[in-house]
Chain A
């Protein structure tokens, strides 16, 4: 039986279940010190002075530094828009690092930060796009002359199509600001000694960090080692550069001692990059059958206080994917990036594609409202037919590889009882003690498997490939070294499964190593649902390369032709003569012994390194349906059921794939119903702890009902598309469509995320929207 596609229990788990994982804060070095930040309490202010003298008197404090003391270059980001490593003359969001303390203990470092006095001269703050783009808006960077740092207009607004269309609708959408909030916050430990610099970092892309830090410090890459040990979740929040990764090495060098930084949650909430925070103006034109004729999108991306490349790319991805699963003859997109006095924005699971899916799936339901059609019928009117792939869209980024969108909807309607939910919905409306029922659909499609050459370079990465090295050990076991840098995805397990399949070596004799720039070939990292579709393909190809060479060794020893050697169950044998065989261990040993090898082969040849490239993005897709219950008296809103049909192409491990979907769906439900990072009018955060920011717990979320279809990815030989972001892309519109559906009889056509009980209670009290 093939091990690819099989439920295999994870290799990662035994350490993590016994407290033997090693996260950054778990590491203790001799002479280690602790770093803590003084962070801005103002959203927008001039810094008139910083007094660290009291902190220096504090017991246990070793030193305190401001920007003026260190004269550091800015963080390595977009030229002309750089963010200072420590604030210089001005702060631009609450939580920005203003000064840094190093002390003998965490407690002393925290004490020190309390004693630093910063003299701020407050400025008027802009906390949203409307304020930031107003004519007389205060500017975050006076020298730029505007808070809008990038703007791309549409080439053609297709106004004539709108003028002649039977129906048009204008929809305004807000994709609420969220924080990824992995349970492990940011952390790093820098040890800058005579032999060079080692940094342990909670990060998703160790080589990316290594390359940037070494350039920033002006030291050769060989003397700068980044280790990403166990990493407690990332979700895109740990591919961005924040001051700690740069300051810890600088201070370690100054003090000649290791410097550790373990971020508090309160700091993480305002200083780790946020996600989403996009406003959209959407125009649609459609005919009497519900066929969409034109789509116009203007996406305004809130950048927060500093614009970084990843954040600036969010509306690029949104506008590339705005047409979703549908044939839309006229698409016009435009976008802009706007600075505000809030936490800066970058990627959060899905990164630009949840925003795209939300707008087009809300638009589909608006067509259904207007024409009084069933939402599934509107979608059927518009799907790209399953035989029309590859499918070129309005965007050159998005050439869809494969899919069967109507097939996914058919499968979805198989695993749910749509008719009886509709009956219950109608019946419940007149029964005061029964909840309101709503059902919402989302036919979603995303762009994943980052990516084709140039794609990740656009976000500042060295390349878009992923590295895989497989080294056969003398006993016939194998070690895989990869630049992928997993933090929960189970890549150690899935890569070992793929290698076992194609090497013919037992799963238990394959290890996967990652997250150390000193031992792993230059890699890229884990983001954009790319590990299996890119790195996994590399594992397969490296395995095939090694097997070819192993066959030559076996053929030499067995006096046969390499083409006649087969590999199965840990041995290599002559086709048709299974008695003429060598174990993998024997072949592996011979591979290191000159006298046992064919003349044209060198010792150590069972060692293959690949930088795996892919020709296109992959396009996972699916159909989700959410059933919502709303308490008529309190507005309490719960997901009763959620039905999930995913198409990620080939599945390597169904258990892990299901886990990825569940986690993404949970974050999607959270965005739709619970979570919003908000600010008051002065730019003070109002949801900066887990008390106010409503990350759901176990009682808040439903069980998930899963289905699956499979249209293999034609752009890699595994046929895999990626699954990490699917749930967070597909879920929010399904939930909101369901909430609106439950309230349709009250005249409701829209409710912004998060659909809180308070908003819904107000509607139930007689207000319609």
Chain B
């Protein structure tokens, strides 16, 4: 059985006929080839698959793709501005070494983006609590906290082109 599903991801419409049990994260990764969104667990604990669904952070392993039918998704590929410049959250993670292996990073970026959308100047405690659903094994979190603080303090960011190396 297949089910026609249309999801707008990062401003592009994807029309696919899918097995109704398909998870949103598999729709994004396997059907649409947007592999920036990662999978780190199968119990909805790690948050590596976090995306924005109509602007709200959701774990895309816990949403069926058909539930997102006719909704709008933003993934990490859709974060940077049209000119390639980073958002303050992306730039903050770069400036404050908020990532090491980079695997949890897309989910962290999306969760942090949703957090700052809701609370533009969060306290350290608010940052930690709001990122509770995103596990990182590399950083010990302090530099992730600093990254989000950097983004809060620099809402205009620093325009850096993708691919520039320093």
Contact = CB atoms under 8 A, between A and B. Distances in A.
A23 interface: yes
Contact of A106 (B26, B35, B37, B133): B26
Contact of A665 (B38, B43, B127, B140): B140
B39 A689 contact: no
B37 A19 contact: yes
Interface in B59-93: 75-77, 79-80, 86, 90, 93
B166 interface: yes
Contacts of B101: 182-184, 230-233, 487-488
A232 B134 CA distance: 15
B156 interface: no
Interface in A499-514: 507-508
Contact of B35 (A19, A107, A487): A19
B76 to A, nearest CB: 4
B11 to A, nearest CB: 15
Interface in A227-241: 230-233, 235
A107 B97 contact: no
B133 A697 contact: yes
A25 B39 CA distance: 9
A198 B98 CA distance: 33
B132 A698 contact: yes
A508 B166 CA distance: 7
B95 A690 contact: no
A701 interface: yes
Interface residues of A, number: 64
Interface in B12-46: 19, 21-22, 26, 29-30, 33-43, 45-46
A17 B97 contact: no
B36 A21 contact: yes
B59 to A, nearest CB: 12
Contacts of A508: 165-166
B114 interface: no
Contact of B48 (A8, A183, A662, A697): A183
A235 B136 CA distance: 13
A690 B163 contact: no
A703 interface: yes
A266 B132 contact: no
B140 A183 contact: no
B137 A26 contact: no
Contacts of B34: 19
Contacts of B26: 106-107
A28 interface: yes
Most buried by A among B40, B125, B160: B40
Contacts of B139: 659, 662-663, 666
A264 interface: yes
B45 A691 contact: yes
Contacts of A8: 166
Contacts of A659: 97, 100, 138-139, 143
A666 to B, nearest CB: 3
B131 A698 contact: yes
A232 B19 CA distance: 29
Contacts of B46: 183, 265, 690
A725 to B, nearest CB: 13
Contacts of A17: 76, 86, 90, 93-94, 99, 102, 105, 109
A14 B79 CA distance: 12
A183 B136 CA distance: 7
B38 A184 contact: yes
Interface in A21-36: 21-23, 25-26, 28
A698 B144 contact: yes
Given A18-B76, A659-B143, A698 B45 contact: no
A265 B145 CA distance: 26
A519 B133 CA distance: 40
Contacts of B54: none
Nearest to B106: A19
Contacts of B135: 183, 690, 695, 697
B7 interface: no
Contacts of B140: 662-667, 701, 704, 727
A23 B38 contact: yes
Contacts of A262: 39
A489 B105 contact: no
Given A14-B94, A663-B138, A183 B36 contact: no
A185 interface: yes
Given A14-B163, A18-B36, A695-B135, A264 B102 contact: no
Contact of B99 (A16, A231, A664, A667): A16
B30 to A, nearest CB: 7
Contact of A663 (B86, B100, B127): B100
A109 interface: no
Interface in A302-357: none
Contacts of A107: 19, 21-22, 26
A19 B137 contact: no
B95 A19 contact: no
Most buried by A among B42, B43, B75, B100: B100
In order of increasing CB-CB distance, the 10 nearest A-B pairs are A19-B36, A232-B103, A666-B140, A488-B101, A16-B102, A488-B100, A26-B35, A662-B140, A690-B45, A19-B76
Given A183-B104, A183-B137, A655-B97, 7 more contacts: A9-B97, A16-B105, A18-B77, A266-B43, A663-B139, A699-B132, A703-B145
Interface of B: 19, 21-22, 26, 29-30, 33-43, 45-46, 48, 75-77, 79-80, 86, 90, 93-95, 97, 99-106, 109, 124-125, 127-129, 131-145, 160, 162-166
5 contacts: A11-B166, A17-B76, A663-B100, A663-B138, A699-B132
